[in-house]
Structure formats: C-alpha cells, structure tokens
Amino acid sequence: MTATYEQLTALNKAYLWHPFTQMKDYNAADPLIIERGDGIMLYDLQGRAYYDGFSSVWLNVHGHNVPELNQAITEQLGRVAHSTLLGMANVPAIQLADQLVRISPEGLTKVFFSDAGATGVEIAIKMAFQYWRNRGISGKSSFITMNQAYHGDTIGAVSVGAIPLYHDLFRPMLFPAHVLPYPNAYRHEGGAAGAMEATLAALRDLLESRGDEIAALIVEPIVQGASGIIIMPPGCLRGLAELCREYGVLLIADEVATGFGRTGAMFACDLEGVSPDLMIVGKGLTGGYLPVAATLATEEVYDAFYADYREQKTFFHGHSYTGNPLGCAVALASLQLLEERCIVQGVIEKAAFAATKLSALIDWPHVGDIRQQGLMIGIELVRDKVSREPYAWEERIGVRVCQRARELGMLTRPLGNVIVLIPPLVSTEAELEAMIRILATAIRDVTEAGWGREG
C-alpha cells in the first residue's frame, strides 16, 4: 500500500512524537518525510534531494543504500535475525568483538554489546562502579564529568551530562557528579593554553582532595560534540589520562560520536595515544545502519568480575537485543569497507580540503569561531564578533540557518548557535564543496539579510 504525502502528514501529526522536538512548532509546518537514500543524498517523498550534512545525526559513514552493507544484512537475515547473548553466542557478535578489539586502543580486550550510545554509557558507569566494589574498595563510588558534557538521555547518562537545557530539570532524580571545566579555548580568557591549564589543575585538585571517593572520569575525547563541537587543546586528553592513572581513577572514553574515523583517526583516543579503561562506541559502528553499541573494557576491569558464582561478582546487566546478529553483521561489513577503502586516511585529506574552503568564512561579521577535527565541524555564530557576544536563544539563529540550508538542499541540525557540518565520511571533495557553499549561503542569508526573522 503506497500512501500519499498528505495521508502520511496527517498520520505523522496524529501519532508521532519526535525526539528533541517541540511538537507545537513541528506540527505547524509541513513535515520533511524521507523516502529513500543513495550515496550521501536523502530524498523526500516529493522527490526533493538533500545532502545529508549531519550524517543522519552523526552516524553515517559510507553513505546510504550501500550494496555491500545491504548484502551483509540480507545474508545474515537468511540465517537468523536475532538470538540472545544471555548465556549463549551468535556468529557475527563473536567476529565483531574480535574486530573491535583488534582496532581499539591497546589494552581494551573485552566487548559488552548494547544498542545505543546511552546504554553503552550506562554499562560503562555501572561497570566502573562495580569494579571497585568487586575489588573490595567501597568508597570509590562517584564520577567526574566535564562541563557541557553530553553522554545520552538515559538517567545514568544524564547524571554525567552537564548541558543545563537538557539536564537541569532532572537533577533531583540524578546521582551527583563532579563537574570539571571543559577547555573551551574560544570562551576562555587565557585561550587554549589557559583553558587547558585550568582543566588539568581542577582535575588535580579534585583528585588530590576526593580521589579516594571517585570511581571514574568520563570524557568525550578530543571533541565535545553536543556542546557545540568544542575541540580540546592538544595534549589535554593525554593530561587527563595521566592524572587518572596517577590517582587510581578509571578513565571512560565516550567515543560514540568520535569513533570509526570521524576525527581523522580510528578513535579520537588514538590522536594522543591514550588507552582508556573503558570505551564506548555506537553511532558509526554499523556504518549508520542499525542500532548497535559496545562498551569495551580492559582485562583488569574484566578480571574484577571473573570469580566463583557464589562471590556474586557477576555483571547483572543486559538488553533484549544485545549483540543483535543483523547489526553485528552490518558492523563487520562496515569495518571491512573502512579498511579496504582507507576511509580514515581519506578523512584526513578531506578534512584539509574542507578547512581550506571554510577558511573564507572566518572574516564574516557573524562567524565567531570555526572548529574542526577531521570531519566534525562546528561554526559558532555570534551577534558581536569583537565581544563574542552570543545571539540570544530566542533568535533561534542556528535553527533558522538550518531551515534555510534545507531549502537550499542540505540537511543538518544546529547546536544552539553552532552550525554543524558532519558529513558522511565518503563525501567527495566536490560534495564537501557543495555542502559548504550551501551552509555559507544560509549563514549569510540569515545573519546578514535577516532570513526567517519573525515579525
């Protein structure tokens, strides 16, 4: 049965509740309904084409409708769609665990699957907590996070989240976490060096005074994503890792957004040779096809749980679809393409190309900062370039730029006043150039010509 745009619009408005969306605004407009994808393009029901400029929320690697990935799923479908990992295994889950260990930072040797970045974070937090209990050290039970951190939307992940708009409302129901200043060079009076020094000094102070109570530090390595693509000064991640080691606190690296080549290395941790105790991956793991995430742990963490059953050190956690064979099969195919097609090396070259094209924008009157690590790009728009005064949230400047970009044929979502360009890793230079041109036009139309201003 084929449905018309009008029928689907009516059903959409009647029944769907969209994430991170004010439904009153959504229902006032004609919805974008995607019908198919091909390469880095998405097509809506009316046949209009859009560049996927945010990789369908930061996860697409090889483009859409990729024959090799489609085939991996179909072949697995002919065997079994799902069976559980509770007390038994399936073929692609074993093989994917092996491949993940092979490509991950040194020391991460055990893989615990789940189905979203947030569940991977929950698992890491619970593992870190129980790790110390299992070792007979009960005092180490609190967590450190970074200001403006985002780790997903389940309650544990929100507890280590620090974006006021998303998280403050829920504080009464969350466990408290220590919050370190995130080294935001653009917004720190001491620039990159001052910001990094402040962060590392704050961590040292905290560990000196409360280290005995702290189970782990959780961090988005190198790039803090949802806060506005904020890049750590070089050496900062390494500094954080060294302090954790020195004071006996576990390091949890949340690579959900940064993993699988996005930053110009397989994992952002690799950029500074950091080996965390726990690492979470999701999003790009399946190339952007299916919801699979994983929490990787070191032998040392795993060993703390490995005991006679009567010692009750088992990790009592699991999800119905953990290690889903279809998801693991497509993840395996995606990792194979990543290597065969030298995608990570390609990201380094494409990132350099994009940086050159973007550099023209930095002198524009309302472009405050352009931040980029690999193919994660954030353009921060400001009302006043000299004082760096932000636009008021009521102006919805980011939303308006993205609406204009959509009109011009590209999809992306803003992070407040930061415009995001996170294209599929296979985007060609010509495609990158086209996307940057659309973004530039949209920014100019909104910030200089007042496009979309109310009233």
Tokens of 340: 């065969």
Alpha carbon distances (Å) from 32 to 47, 289, 384, 403, 445: 11, 20, 33, 11, 22
Does 112 participate in binding ligand PLP (rule CB under 6 A)? no
Report, in Å, the least distance between residue 113 CB and ligand PLP: 13
By CB under 6 A, residue 220 contacts ligand PLP: yes
Q: Does 319 bind ligand PLP (CB under 6 A)?
A: no
Count of alpha carbons within 13 angstroms of residue 293, beta-carbon side: 25
Shortest CB 284 distance to ligand PLP, Å: 11
Could you tell me which stretch among 115-123, 210-218, 295-303, 424-432 binds ligand PLP (CB under 6 A)? 115-123
Helix (H) or strand (E) holding 122: helix 117-134
Q: Could you say whether residue 285 binds ligand PLP (CB under 6 A)? A: no
Nearer to ligand PLP, 151 or 396 (CB): 151
Q: Is 151 in the site for ligand PLP (CB under 6 A)?
A: yes
Position 375 contacts ligand PLP (CB under 6 A): no
Record the tokens describing residue 442, joined without a space: 């949209």
Nearer to ligand PLP, 140 or 283 (CB): 283
DSSP labels for 166-212?
A: HHGGGGGGS---EEEPP--GGG-TTHHHHHHHHHHHHHHHHHHHHGG
Q: What would you measure as the largest C-alpha separation in the chain, in angstroms? A: 70
Whether 377 and 294 have beta carbons less than 8 Å apart is answered as no
Q: What are phi and psi of 44, to 5 degrees?
A: -90, 175
Answer whether 178's CB lies under 8 Å from 210's CB: yes
Question: In the stretch 261-280, what mask flags binding to ligand PLP with x, by CB under 6 A?
Answer: --------------------
The only residue of 226, 243, 337, 344 in contact with ligand PLP, by rule CB under 6 A: 226
Q: How far is residue 126's CA from residue 110's CA, in Å, rounded to a whole number?
A: 15
State which of residues 69, 100, 118, 290 lies at the interface with ligand PLP (CB under 6 A).
118
- To ligand PLP, the closest distance from the beta carbon of 226 in angstroms equals 5
Token pair for 29: 């407009």
Residues 41, 397: Cα–Cα separation, whole Å: 25
Contact letters for ligand PLP, residues 120-139 (x by CB under 6 A): -x------------------
The minimum distance between CB 220 and ligand PLP, in angstroms, equals 5
- Under the binding rule (CB under 6 A), the answer on residue 221 touching ligand PLP is no
Q: Write out the DSSP string of 229-271.
A: -EEPPTTHHHHHHHHHHHHT-EEEEE-TTTTTTTTSSSSGGGG
116 is a site residue for ligand PLP (CB under 6 A): yes
Between 279 and 370, whose beta carbon lies closer to ligand PLP?
279
For 113, list phi and psi in degrees, rounded to 5. -85, 150
Q: How far is CA 433 from CA 12, 152, 402, 423, 443, in A?
A: 34, 31, 17, 11, 15
Mark the segment that binds ligand PLP (CB under 6 A) among 28-36, 61-69, 219-227, 371-379.
219-227
Q: How far is the CB of 253 from ligand PLP (least distance, A)?
A: 10
CB-nearer residue toward ligand PLP: 367 or 422 = 422
Over the range 359-387, which residues count as b (16 or more CB within 10 Å of their CB) and which as e? eebeebebbbbbbbbbbbbbbbbbbebee
Which of 41, 93, 257, 271 contacts ligand PLP by CB under 6 A?
257
C-beta of 37 vs 117, nearer to ligand PLP: 117
Write down the least CB distance from residue 254 to ligand PLP, Å: 5
Q: Which is nearer to ligand PLP, 241 or 268 (CB)?
A: 268
Least Å from the CB of residue 5 to ligand PLP: 28
User: CB 145: neighbour CB atoms within 10 A?
Assistant: 24
Of the candidates 291, 267, 296, the one whose C-alpha atom is nearest the C-alpha of residue 56 is 291
Q: Distance between terminal CA atoms of the chain? A: 42
Which of 51, 113, 129, 150 touches ligand PLP by CB under 6 A? 150
DSSP-assigned letters across all residues of 34-59: EEEEEBTEEEETT--EEEETTHHHHT
The site that binds ligand PLP (CB under 6 A) totals a number of residues, namely 14
CB atoms within 10 A of CB 209: 9
Closer of 225 and 325 to ligand PLP (Cβ): 225
Q: Contact between 391 and ligand PLP (CB under 6 A)?
A: no
Q: Establish if 152 lies at the interface with ligand PLP (CB under 6 A).
A: yes
Tell whether residue 225 is a contact of ligand PLP (CB under 6 A).
yes
CB-based closest residue to ligand PLP: 117
Smallest separation, CB 116 to ligand PLP (Å) = 4
Q: Which stretch binds ligand PLP (CB under 6 A): 20-28, 38-46, 220-228, 400-408?
A: 220-228
CB of 371 to ligand PLP, least distance (A): 15
- What totals of helices (H) and strands (E) does the chain contain, helices first? 15, 17
Give bridge partners of residue 242 from the DSSP assignment.
none
Q: List interacting residues with ligand PLP (CB under 6 A).
A: 116-118, 121, 150-152, 220, 225-226, 254, 256-257, 282
